[in-house]
Amino acid sequence: ATAAETRKFEAEVDQVLHLVTHSLYSHKEIFLRELISNASDACDKLRFEALSRPELVQDDAELRIEIRWDPEARTLTVRDNGIGMSRDEVIGNIGTIARSGTRRFLESLTGDARRDTQLIGQFGVGFYSAFIVADKVTLTTRRADAAPGEGVRWESTGSGEYTVEAIEQPWRGTAVTLHLKADEGEFLDGWKLRELVRKYSDHVAFPIRLPKQKDGKPGDELETVNHASALWTRPKAELKDEDYQAFYKSLGYGFDDALAWTHNRVEGSQGYTLLLYLPERPPFDALFAGRDERKGLKLYIRRVFIMDASEQLLPAYLRFVRGVVDSDDLPLNVSRELLQHNRLVAQIRAACVKRVLDLIEKLAKDEPEKFKTFHTAFGNVLKEGVAEDPANRERIARLLRFASTRSESAERTVSLDDYIARMAAGQEAIYYLTADTYAAAKGSPQLEALRAKGIEVLLMYDRIDEWMVGYLDSYAGKKLRNAAKGELGSDVLGADAEARKQAEKDAEGLLKKLKDALGERVREVRVSQRLTESPACLAFDEYDMAPHMQRLLREVGQ
Ligand code: ADP
Ligand code: MG
């Protein structure tokens, strides 16, 4: 064998290691979940590759995870017979921050310890969590398609450097051995380990085996301690909330609980299972607002993990949804391209949309607190659906909430249905006003006439509102009308036509002077019925862009 080579971690790895080991101590037991989750991913990957290359698993077909401990050596080992890694992969995956998510995570760090801990909690810490409890970690591995002489051994104390060397490894897959710190002896106990596996990894779809404990020592006989079947394949009646929450966390988005979920088995022209979750809050990365690189919905085909297919199975406006889709009927050799144009996929996608909207509706109806949490976190994302999903426009609009002149608060609590239920007799339209801020909307002189008539106006002050409402011509048979645009309807003005003509006549001289003075800056100066207190206001033609929309376009250089 060649000598071990010593290499330096990337600077960012040092940063992550430092943060993980210092800020996550109170959650230290999650290291086991992270290592098991990597082992399970490795088994998933091998199972997938073996679809086209069955020889990869022939000699050792049962994919599994084993956990062993050695009280004398004070070591704990998590081993899998999954895909394994080549030397380059070890260096690329373990020695660098390969994942773009991690980079973004680092970029979003603030230096405020409490906030950063929260961030890291949302993000899932992965392999490096081993260093919370270990002062040295040894990883040995061999790729499933490599020869026994092509094994790799990686070792580090987690401080700046690691070593890699070539080794002989008769079995495929990966073993991660933790040399536990002096005060972490609790993890050298079969009962404790069993408890942790059950608590965090029960739903892992591969068997997790531990030696039976005899006289405080690991015996020779192994037993399976987890449920070892994919959670979503189990009957709903058998599953508790804790099971769903634990599975949600295993999807790899950190410690947060899920807000709600929907679990359905569909039989019929095609069979599939959906398990879809709503998170409690948006993920840390600011890019979530951007719509590229969507992740979070895993596609399985007959229990085999295929790929993350969030983009293919969910419209962009539901990109916050996470979970699993397991299809009975898609071909195992699907490609991304095929997913894009497949009739079965289109059906599943429609079902995902329907189930998620059902779930949000149910929250709105039965669980107002949770609905509020949802709406605060994702209301603005959902609004994109009004534009993007004409078929579900009304359903989506029904789920939106706005501030209104009825309440004194900026909180978004009024639904379009609430509004309609309160409409005055003879009121023709749903009135709204868009502005940059709540204060600007609420204080707008455009509202005076409507206020005088006791007509409620929805106050929209999120960036996306002007764009969204442009697609919402009407709702439940009622037109939506911008209170700042065009002529107000006779519902607001009443039958004052005569008085109005007279007023216009009286003001002719004044109007002409104003128009001359303002020149090209205005299109027209006219007598307004909008105002009751202010002497003048700027109004827009029906098809003009609202002022803050004009500003927005200027900002992006249009
Ligand atoms: P994540 O699992 O989110 O990708 P981790 O830090 O947990 O991040 O792991 C980093 C990478 O190291 C994995 O993506 C994988 O490529 C590799 N890896 C870790 N553990 C194993 C394993 N047991 N078998 C194969 N590859 C592994
Ligand atoms: Mg991982």
Q: What is the pLDDT of residues 219-253, one digit of tens each?
A: 999 999 998 889 999 999 999 999 999 899 888 77
**Joined tokens for residue 549:** 């929309």
Residue by residue, what is the 3-state secondary structure of 44-113?
Answer: HHHHHHHHHCHHHCCCCCCCCEEEEEECCCCEEEEEECCCCCCHHHHHHHHCCCCCHHHHHHHHCCCCCH
pLDDT score at 289: 47
Q: Give 407's contacts (C-beta < 8 A, 6+ positions apart).
A: 413, 414
Q: In this structure, what are the phi and psi dihedrals at residue 194, rounded to the nearest 5 degrees?
A: -60, -45
Q: How far apart are the first and last CA of the chain?
A: 63
**Joined tokens for residue 189:** 């106990």
CA 312/CA 348 separation, integer angstroms: 10
| C-beta 125 within 6 A of ligand 1 | no
| C-beta 127 within 6 A of ligand 1 | yes
Residue 126 assigned as binding residue: yes
Which range (134-143, 167-176, 276-285, 539-548) has the least confidence? 539-548
Name the pLDDT band for 286 (thresholds 50, 70, 90).
Answer: very low
Across the chain, what does the average pLDDT equal? 87
Asked if residue 118 has pLDDT above 80, the reply is: no
Which residue's CA is minimally distant from atom 5 of ligand 1? 126
Q: Which atom of ligand 1 is nearest to the CA of 82?
A: 24
Residue 371 assigned as binding residue: no
CB-based contact 60:223 (threshold 8 Å): no
DSSP character at residue 329: S
> DSSP 3-state assignment of 235?
coil
Q: Which atom of ligand 1 is nearest to the CA of 94?
A: 12
pLDDT score at 54: 93
| C-beta 207 within 6 A of ligand 1 | no
Asked if residue 120 has pLDDT above 70, the reply is: no
| C-beta 83 within 6 A of ligand 1 | yes
pLDDT tens, residue by residue, 70-98: 999 999 999 999 999 999 999 988 866 65
Q: How far is CA 470 from CA 285, 384, 478, 543, in A?
A: 29, 11, 15, 10
CA 140/CA 155 separation, integer angstroms: 9
Q: Give 14's contacts (C-beta < 8 A, 6+ positions apart).
A: 160
Asked if residue 128 has pLDDT above 80, the reply is: yes
Closest CA to 398 of 412, 372, 384, 418: 418
Asked if residue 534 has pLDDT above 80, the reply is: no
CB-based contact 49:63 (threshold 8 Å): no
Name the pLDDT band for 327 (thresholds 50, 70, 90).
Answer: very high
Residue 437 assigned as binding residue: no
Indicate the burial class of 167 (C-beta count within 10 angstroms; 0-12, 13-18, 19 or more): middle
Residue 52 assigned as binding residue: no
Indicate the burial class of 549 (C-beta count within 10 angstroms; 0-12, 13-18, 19 or more): middle
CB-based contact 37:305 (threshold 8 Å): no
Residue of 34, 56, 127, 139 to test ligand 1 pocket, by largest number of atoms within 8 Å of CB: 127
